[in-house]
Amino acid sequence: MKKTLLATLLCASSITAMASGDIDAGKVAAEKFNCASCHGKDFNSPIDPTYPKLAGQHADYIVQALKSYQRGPDMMNGRGHPIMGAQAKALSNTDILNIAAYLHSLPGSLVLRK
């Protein structure tokens, strides 16, 4: 019983740690990796309508998407896009968490409910 409780607590704390990020460091990382060049200066007006609006997006979704681009199209749950694949591969796990926190903190036009 104690082992099960300990395992549950460890999983819960690791999920919380994974979901957090530093907003200020995320802003710096987003600038360093030039995310705005495709997704727009406000991350809400991409240069191509097929590119996603990132401002206000859920942080966990951004983390998952960037990790999927890192895996690439040939791996399970991977995504393929030549630009995003190259950009994502250059990101550390900390960069991903921070960028996700920053983008989530921005006001956006994302429709969450109709």
Predicted local confidence at residue 74, as pLDDT: 84
Separation of alpha carbons 53 and 41, rounded Å: 11
Whole-prediction pTM: 0.77
Q: Which of the following CATH numbers is that of domain 21-105: 3.90.470.10, 1.10.1240.10, 1.10.760.10, 1.25.40.80? A: 1.10.760.10
Average pLDDT of adjacent 10-residue blocks, the chain of 114 residues: 52 50 96 94 94 94 94 83 88 97 91 67
Nearest to 30 by CA among 98, 106, 90: 98
